[in-house]
Amino acid sequence: MIPELGLYCLILAFSISIVQGILPMAGTYLRAQHWMRMAAPLAITNFVLLSGSFAALTYCFITDDFSVQYVANNSNTLLPAHYKISAVWGAHEGSLLLWLLILCFWSAIFALFSRQLPVVLRARIISILGMITTGFSAFTLFTSNPFSRSLPFIPAEGSDLNPLLQDFGLVIHPPMLYFGYVGFAIPFAFAIAALLEKGAAQSSCVSNEWTRWVRPWANTAWAFLTVGIALGSWWAYYELGWGGWWFWDPVENASFMP
């Protein structure tokens, strides 16, 4: 029942994200104020639904629900509780769900703390975030569903979390890195929304005002990404013992790209 509830929340979030991506943007062109004002409630609703979906998957790990294929592949009854929780994002499907949750978190935070922005610009930014969420939701649902069942043959015991991932680094490193990666969706949405402004060269939204509005979001994402990279270097150094920080780890090096 709990896995199905998590899946339903994920499906509903996917549906809401489609509306979030289309309705406010259409409102900016049709000058429909009530459509534009729906942007923030849609973003917050999406975050609530994704929180429910993520909580359901976490519950499956904590209760050793091996009828869920993802849980059976990445946990077992002997795994300590904090590793069971971090195992939620210890493999592909759960990582995508965490990525999606953080994306919706950033969208909801923006919706709550951006009331001072022009209505049209705010609606466009939240709509663009909805389009990004739609893409990740679709990918998660149709190619990487973390709630797939292993019925009718339910294993009595799970496999195990990768031994290299049974470390405190998994608890803190990926969430920090994801908050940084995904946080840059806000400056991206700002940029696209500003480009959609008519007469963008003369618009205040793409000059001094635009840079003032976007700077706190960019700085916050930058800070999370910096912490995430530092934690990753520390983890790779003592866990893998390569003797040169993380210079031979392509994943950690790729984190510099953003």
What pLDDT digit, counting tens, does each position of 162-185 carry? Answer: 887 888 888 898 899 999 999 999
| pLDDT score recorded for residue 201 | 46
CA proximity to 77, closest of 62, 89, 91, 67:
62
- Residues 188-216: what's their mean pLDDT? 75
In the chain the first and final C-alpha atoms are separated, in Å, by 40
Q: Give the DSSP per-residue string, 126-194.
A: HHHHHHHHHHHHHHHHHH--TT-B-TT---SS-----GGG-SHHHHHHHHHHHHHHHHTHHHHHHHHHH
Determine contact, residues 144/92, Cβ cutoff 8 Å.
yes
- Print the domain residue range for 136: 2-254
| pTM, rounded to two decimals | 0.90
Query: How many whole angstroms separate alpha carbon 158 and alpha carbon 68?
Result: 10
> Per residue in 93-120, pLDDT tens?
999 999 999 999 999 999 999 999 999 9
Q: Provide the pLDDT for residue 248.
A: 61
- Total domains present in the chain: 1
List beta partners, residue 246.
244
Sign of the CA dihedral 192, 198, 204, 207?
positive
Tell me the sheet residues that pair with 16: none
